[in-house]
Amino acid sequence: MKKVIIIGGGCAGLSAATALVEKGYQATVFEKSRILGGRTSSVADPATGEPVDNGQHMFLGCYNETDRFLRRLGVDQHVKYRNAFSTLMIGLSGEKAFLQTYRLPAPLHLLLGYMQYRAFSMLERFSIIHVVRGLKKYTDTQLACMSCAEFLSRCKQSQTTQTRFWDLLILATLNVDPKRAPADLLKVVLTQGFMASCKDSASGLADVGLTELFGDAAQAYMAKKGGSIRLRETVSELILDHEKIKGVVLQNGEKVQADYVITAIAPNHLYRLLAKESRLQTLARNVKHMESSPIVSLHIWTNRHLFDDAYVGFWDTPFHWVFRKQSFMQDQSVSHYTLVASGADDLIKKSTSDLITMAKQTLAPLCGDVSISRAKKSLMKNATWLPPLGQNIVRPNIQSQDVKGLYYAGDWVDTGLPCTIESAVKSGHMAASYIINQKFA
Ligand SMILES: Cc1cc2nc3c(=O)[nH]c(=O)nc-3n(C[C@H](O)[C@H](O)[C@H](O)COP(=O)(O)OP(=O)(O)OC[C@H]3O[C@@H](n4cnc5c(N)ncnc54)[C@H](O)[C@@H]3O)c2cc1C
């Protein structure tokens, strides 16, 4: 049976590895960390033992590849979807508006909800028609060169509409300032997520920690199917024989042979491998220019229950969302919440006490003065990656153009999706199916 090496044990690497062992391939994952999951991981809180995620992750009903992956692992029931998308939104001055989708045929499910969103005037709500027209008017190539902010102002969206709706949607889904986010990805979010159907726009949250959901379940699946996972092993070099991949070299010098190699690592890590190979210099230059964007999360524990909803959104505040965590704790009088700021370049260097002050400021219009008994920050500097806008830098193809048997996976490669769990899993599944179908191997 053919041997496949997968570099990286995040969602991309694990989806590829499990798809391959499912078909009888001899797959080995090398993961440099001591735990699997990459950017979807959790650690046990030393005080309570409850799992604390590296950041809140939301799933959407349109995450079909993720669903397939979780079903393969037998843990799909741990992502709990609500019937539709619904959230309370609050401004710094206390204005409140409810945003939701309805169980109606598309696009009525969304339009009806948007028309009832009282964060701006009825005239401003009707102006969404210009966005629908804009999505048809501009080609994907034009949208790829245009920022979301530019697209929205061309589509006559007022400043209030942008601040109280569009910016939050763009930050939540693309994790980058609307002035830097390409409009073609906003089109993907709207057409595949929010405008496709009520089911596709439903939001889902995991009822277990991310490591249990992805890493532990994938490890158990690999063990059951005879696959192998080697933790704390960093791949430092690719072994090439002319135009064919032959294996990898580990940091300890060990050489491991394989018929195929899938890299499933972020651009900064991939660059280190590519830079050493003369055959891969063009791609290396491209990868070097990919830009990352941070997410800052603050976990807080309070001695009182703050709100009943699963999450609440905010405009004009430092944090954009707060999530109520499921209580795993013995002491039910203590509640755990996670505040999230996306595209958070301004917050990445803040101290925990500064972030606590900002959290209180964000939460005040929702639940008054909040007494925080404990807090833990999570700063993910390289949370997601995108090519810089308008500089002709592209996301790489999954199949290497230069080396036979080499494939690139990861949320940031060319899946056509924003950098999300779904993109990571789709890339892993695509890399695996190239190998399984021997299409171009
Ligand atoms: C705080 C936060 C919140 C997010 N929220 C959401 C959300 O709500 N919804 C959503 O869909 N997405 C969200 N995302 C994005 C999502 O987490 C990522 O898109 C996805 O996890 C990326 O998976 P990946 O496998 O491509 O990469 P990674 O998870 O980065 O996996 C790469 C792995 O490779 C390993 N590695 C690197 N170099 C080497 C090497 N040389 N040898 C061996 N191993 C190596 C790394 O240790 C890592 O484990 C969020 C991300 C963050 C950080």
Note the pLDDT tens digit of each residue in 430-439.
Answer: 999 999 997 5
Asked whether residue 63 is assigned to any structural domain, the reply reads no
Q: Indicate whether 134 and 189 sit together in one domain.
A: yes
Asked whether residue 85 is assigned to any structural domain, the reply reads no
Q: For residue 84, what pLDDT is reported?
A: 75
**To 10 degrees, what angle do helices 64-73 and 421-437 make?**
70
Distances (CA, A) of 307 to 185, 360, 370: 33, 14, 12
Atom of ligand 1 nearest to the CA of 233: 43
319 Cα: distance to centroid of ligand 1 (angstroms) = 22
Q: Indicate whether 111 and 186 sit together in one domain.
A: yes
The ligand 1 site (C-beta within 6 Å) comprises: 7-13, 30-33, 38-40, 54-55, 57-58, 234-235, 264-266, 269, 295, 297, 380, 383-384, 410-411, 419-422, 424
Q: Indicate whether 129 and 261 sit together in one domain.
A: no
In this structure, the residue with its CA closest to atom 6 of ligand 1 is: 57
348 Cα: distance to centroid of ligand 1 (angstroms) = 18
Top mutation candidate among 40, 54, 339 for ligand 1, by most atoms within 8 Å of CB: 40
Nearest Cα to 147, choosing from 120, 169, 176? 176
Q: Indicate whether 281 and 351 sit together in one domain.
A: no
> What's the CATH number where 300 sits?
3.90.660.10
Q: Indicate whether 302 and 275 sit together in one domain.
A: no
Query: E strands of 184-286, at which residues?
Result: 203-206, 228-231, 235-241, 244-250, 255-257, 260-263
CA distance 310 to 328: 15
116 Cα: distance to centroid of ligand 1 (angstroms) = 36
Q: What is the domain count for the chain? A: 3
> What's the CATH number where 398 sits?
3.50.50.60
Counted residue by residue, the chain has a size of 441
Residue 158, classified by CB atoms within 10 Å of its CB into exposed (0-12), middle (13-18) or buried (19+), is middle
Q: For residue 331, what pLDDT is reported?
A: 58
Q: Indicate whether 316 and 381 sit together in one domain.
A: yes
Q: Indicate whether 286 and 393 sit together in one domain.
A: yes
- Low-confidence stretches of the chain (pLDDT < 50) are 440-441
Nearest Cα to 375, choosing from 335, 418, 327, 429? 335
Bridge partners of residue 204, in order along the sequence:
59, 81
8 Cα: distance to centroid of ligand 1 (angstroms) = 9
Q: Indicate whether 177 and 325 sit together in one domain.
A: no
Q: For residue 440, what pLDDT is reported?
A: 42
CA distance 122 to 249: 61
In this structure, the residue with its CA closest to atom 41 of ligand 1 is: 235
CA distance 429 to 63: 13
Sign of the CA dihedral with 98 first, then 101, 104, and 107 last:
positive
In this structure, the residue with its CA closest to atom 33 of ligand 1 is: 8
CA distance 407 to 238: 12
253 Cα: distance to centroid of ligand 1 (angstroms) = 26
Report helix, strand or coil for 32.
coil
Instruction: Give start and end residues of each alpha helix (H) in 119-215.
Output: 122-126, 128-137, 140-144, 148-154, 159-161, 167-174, 183-188, 210
Q: What is the DSSP letter of 163?
A: I
Q: What is the extent of the structural domain holding 369?
A: 291-386
Asked whether residue 365 is assigned to any structural domain, the reply reads yes
Q: Indicate whether 18 and 163 sit together in one domain.
A: no
To which H or E segment does residue 364 belong? helix 352-367
Residue at a domain's end among 170, 196, 222: 196
Q: For residue 441, what pLDDT is reported?
A: 39
CA distance 235 to 251: 6
CA distance 296 to 93: 23
32 Cα: distance to centroid of ligand 1 (angstroms) = 13
Q: Indicate whether 113 and 166 sit together in one domain.
A: yes
Asked whether residue 83 is assigned to any structural domain, the reply reads no
Asked whether residue 93 is assigned to any structural domain, the reply reads no
Residue at a domain's end among 167, 196, 225: 196
Q: Indicate whether 235 and 359 sit together in one domain.
A: no
CA distance 211 to 31: 14
Q: Indicate whether 400 and 272 sit together in one domain.
A: yes
Residue at a domain's end among 171, 196, 221: 196
Q: For residue 334, what pLDDT is reported?
A: 72
Residue 338, classified by CB atoms within 10 Å of its CB into exposed (0-12), middle (13-18) or buried (19+), is buried
Asked whether residue 90 is assigned to any structural domain, the reply reads no
Asked whether residue 166 is assigned to any structural domain, the reply reads yes
Asked whether residue 51 is assigned to any structural domain, the reply reads no
Nearest Cα to 135, choosing from 146, 124, 126? 146
